[in-house]
Amino acid sequence: MSVLEIRDLHVTVGEGDDTKEILRGVDLTVRSGETHAIMGPNGSGKSTLAYSIAGHPKYTITGGTVTLDGEDVLAMSVDERARAGLFLAMQYPVEVPGVSVSNFLRTAATAIKGEAPKLRTWVKDVKTEMAGLEMDSAFAERNVNEGFSGGEKKRHEILQMRLLKPGIAILDETDSGLDVDALRVVSEGVNRSREDSDVGVLLITHYTRILKYIKPDFVHVFVAGKIVDEGGPELAAKLEDEGYAAYVKPAEVAQA
């Protein structure tokens, strides 16, 4: 069982006169086996939350705590966070020229597990997971994300999650840029992880369409750097019908 606890998290970006507070006191707990959807308009700070948990140097933590199973996440380096069981599927995965997908995946698995996976078993696992994500086997020899379509990049992110088996997976707008078929395949990959492991999922999105495939246990409305409402799947249905207007105006008044 893994428990990610975020308490009163405040985060800024920029320096000096350009410093801007993005997160303004976030409280959230994600446990193994739970799926939490964070929904909100563009610019509300959803991705900032994801990257702050993962340890992106662009963001400065000015207050609050983040713990994983009681351990201080903010005191860990990025690689230590990964080894502790955190995983981030990025909204905009970066290209890594000269490094093949197969080498990247096995190196990552070795770093996280502390030993290289047995080659025969590993090759079989990779092929099985790639087939499940409807990826051609030749994909493994391509350079990481180089020349990939949006759908290929997102499938590769979920392939990593399937093979690395994190305790807590943060999926930052995994649905962005996907057509209907790619969205279905990626969602099925996430659902397989929910079915065959106790992974806790923090799913960040501003569209409800992915929630038709990945059913959340909890929905949190994120506006102006904080959670302003919470509920179950019915809240996502309400947002689909009514949008964020009821939340955005009060938040803007509070900021002013």
Q: Which domain holds residue 66?
A: 3-255
The pLDDT, as a whole number, for residue 250 is 54
Note the pLDDT of residue 1.
Answer: 86
Instruction: Give the CATH number, domain containing residue 112.
Output: 3.40.50.300
Closest residue by Cα to residue 154 from 190, 102, 119: 190
Closest CA to 203 of 223, 222, 185: 222
- In sequence order, what DSSP letters do the residues of 52-110 get, joined into one string? HHHT-TTEEEEEEEEEETTEEGGGS-HHHHHHHTEEEE-SSPPPEEEEEHHHHHHHHHH
128-155 pLDDT, tens digit each: 999 999 999 899 999 999 999 999 999 9
pTM of structure: 0.93
pLDDT at 216: 97
Below-70 pLDDT ranges, the chain:
249-256
Residues 6 or more apart in contact with residue 63 via CB below 8 angstroms = 8, 9, 10, 25
| Distance from C-alpha of 55 to C-alpha of 38, rounded to nearest angstrom | 19
Nearest to 171 by CA among 89, 55, 80: 89
Total domains in the fold of the chain: 1
Q: Do the Cβ atoms of 209 and 27 come closer than 8 Å?
A: no
How far apart, in whole angstroms, are the C-alpha atoms of residue 127 and residue 138?
10
Closest CA to 190 of 133, 152, 105: 133
